[in-house]
Amino acid sequence: MPKKLLSFPKKFLWGTASASYQVEGNNIHSDWWHWETTKKPGQKWPLERSGIACDFYNRYEKDFDLCKKMNNNAVRLSVEWARLEPKQGEFNRAEFAHYRKVLKAAKKRGLKTFITLNHFTNPLWFSQQGGWRQRQAPRIFARYVEECVKELGKDIDAFITINEPDGNAMQGYVTGKRYPGKKLSILGGLVAIANYHRAHNAAAKVIKSLTHTPVGIVKNIGWFEARPGASFFLDRWLARFCLWLVCDSLIHLIHKNLDFLGYNHYFTIQFSYGMPHFPKGPKNDMNWVLYPPGLGRMLTYMNKFGVPLYVTEHGLPDRNDTHRKWYMHESLAGVHKAIQNGADIRGYFHWTLTDNFEWNDGYDPRFGLVAIDRENNLKRTPRPSFYWYAKVCKQNGVEALKTK
Ligand code: BGC
């Protein structure tokens, strides 16, 4: 008997997501490049230099061919601010022309383009004059965004202003794990978080004044819940409080300027007797617990904001492709259930197409549906899960899970 298909809505978008710095190579004007190349003795992070990355800058057509082969109908990419504005106020028209070619190549293959304008990295000049802690950061960012809309807007189907602003602010200014590597107080990090959200509002207004293209932001928020079985009132309250703190309180700052919300999902935290824990379950190559119900549950929670939702990242480092397929399958069944329960979810972008530069952790973690051989001219080889995902995209659905 053929297995029952859990079908997704008709115009559902299926794709992969990536970020310019992690795939393009040679982003020499970016602050992260500076961090890599000026690493001091005794400084732990970053472990590796990005160098040529995946050479996506030159190989984008071949990579989009792979998206097409996977029956994708959308792609999430970012443009590198430092390429486009290497010096403050001086825009590089040749680089805009390059991105126009990239966008057209995606469109030619039937891919809707979701473009992130800031995915962690900034021009070095911006960071050196105070980065996201400077008061004028929103105005400077909005100026760059205006140029992007004028130069590239025609081929962009959805604008994502900023990728994971809060997490990036905390890592850059509080834990010091990302550039500029500062260890300030939580209050110091909050200034950057506030500026990021002001920047979203400023950028969204510029975009809206120039086009009708939808504008959103991408959040990376873990799902919080009380540990099933062992839960009592305090655990449920703590889980709700954390969701309010990392999700609601920040989304309210930008709610008026959102046409959609992007959600990046990697973690679930469970409370048990007042203490936070990761759920029990198999682990990926970076020792993160794989807990499929978290994705659908968080999307169901986020539906209350009343805007369409997209899964803008979901994936795992899994060099041998041991877990990718079942993890995607069970997670997507959860997304399907959330849709059935009324959540307005419009697309899923898997992180990521090819193995790429995983920030501080360098090239060791392998997040790709396609493996990259760094010893052999960056040769691309699809993993088995690539073919599985191709089938999902083609049939616009996943098979129903076996009941355990
Ligand atoms: C980031 C990606 C990163 C992925 C896996 C996300 O939070 O947006 O750039 O590669 O996590 O760590």
As a whole number of angstroms, the distance between CA 76 and CA 329 comes to 21
pLDDT at 97 over 90: yes
Specify the pLDDT at position 3.
81
Specify the pLDDT at position 129.
97
Of 1-5, 149-153, 349-353, which range is least confident? 1-5
> Shortest CA distance to 114 belongs to which of 142, 144, 152, 59?
152
CB burial string 77-110: b at 16+ within 10 A, e below: bbbbbbbbbbeeeebeeebbebbeebbebbbebe
Q: Find the 362 Cα to ligand 1 centroid distance in Å.
A: 12
Percent of the chain with pLDDT over 90: 95
> Shortest CA distance to 109 belongs to which of 74, 153, 154?
74
Tell whether omega for the bond before 9 is within 30 degrees of 0, i.e. cis: no
As a whole number of angstroms, the distance between CA 320 and CA 55 comes to 23
Span 112-126, pLDDT tens digits:
999 999 999 999 999
287: exposed, middle or buried (Cβ count in 10 Å: 0-12, 13-18, 19+): exposed
pLDDT band at 404 (very low <50, low <70, confident <90, very high): low
- Which residues lie closer than 8 Å to 113 by C-beta, 6 or more apart? 74, 75, 77, 103, 106, 107, 155, 156, 157, 158
291: left (phi over 0), alpha (psi -120 to 50) or beta: beta
As a whole number of angstroms, the distance between CA 191 and CA 257 comes to 20
Q: Find the 129 Cα to ligand 1 centroid distance in Å.
A: 26
pLDDT at 231 over 90: no
Q: Find the 351 Cα to ligand 1 centroid distance in Å.
A: 8
Long-range contacts, 282-286 (Cβ 8 Å, 24+): 282/323, 284/316, 284/317, 284/318, 284/323, 285/316, 285/317, 285/318, 285/319, 285/365, 285/366, 286/317, 286/361, 286/365
Predicted TM-score (pTM) above 0.85: yes
Span 339-378, pLDDT tens digits:
999 999 999 999 999 999 999 999 999 999 999 999 999 9
Q: Find the 95 Cα to ligand 1 centroid distance in Å.
A: 24
Shortest-distance Cα residue to atom 12 of ligand 1: 358
Tell whether omega for the bond before 38 is within 30 degrees of 0, i.e. cis: no
pLDDT at 1 over 80: no
Backbone φ, ψ for residue 70 (5° rounding): -85, 5
- Please give the full DSSP string across 135-158, using - where no structure is assigned: TTHHHHHHHHHHHHHHHHGGG-SE
Q: Find the 313 Cα to ligand 1 centroid distance in Å.
A: 8
Give, rounded to a whole angstrom, the gap between the first and last alpha carbons of the chain: 18
Q: Find the 304 Cα to ligand 1 centroid distance in Å.
A: 25
Shortest-distance Cα residue to atom 5 of ligand 1: 358
Average pLDDT over residues 127-137: 97
Q: Can you name the residues that pair with 159 across neighbouring β-strands?
A: 115, 215
Q: Radius of gyration (Cα) for the chain, nearest Å?
A: 20
Which of 284, 313, 363 maximizes ligand 1 atoms within 8 Å of its Cβ, making it the mutation to test the pocket?
313
pLDDT band at 239 (very low <50, low <70, confident <90, very high): very high
Q: Indicate the average pLDDT of the chain.
A: 97
Span 287-320, pLDDT tens digits:
999 999 999 999 999 999 999 999 999 999 999 9
Q: Which amino acid is at 211?
A: T
Which of 114, 163, 351, 356 maximizes ligand 1 atoms within 8 Å of its Cβ, making it the mutation to test the pocket?
351
Which atom of ligand 1 is found nearest the CA of 218?
A: 8
Average pLDDT over residues 92-106: 99
pLDDT at 142 over 80: yes
HSE-up of 184 (CA within 13 Å, CB side)? 18
Average pLDDT over residues 225-231: 87
Of 38-47, 147-156, 242-251, which range is least confident? 38-47
Place of tokens 């190989």: 59
Backbone φ, ψ for residue 307 (5° rounding): -125, 155
> Shortest CA distance to 75 belongs to which of 62, 64, 59?
64
Q: Can you name the residues that pair with 275 across neighbouring β-strands?
A: 272
Average pLDDT over residues 46-50: 96
Average pLDDT over residues 225-230: 89
Ligand 1 binding residues, C-beta < 6 A: 19, 22, 163-164, 220, 264, 313, 351, 358
Shortest-distance Cα residue to atom 9 of ligand 1: 19
Span 188-227, pLDDT tens digits:
899 999 999 999 999 999 999 999 999 999 999 899 999 9
Place of tokens 């990697």: 266
As a whole number of angstroms, the distance between CA 226 and CA 237 comes to 8
> How many residues are present in the chain?
404
Tell whether omega for the bond before 180 is within 30 degrees of 0, i.e. cis: yes
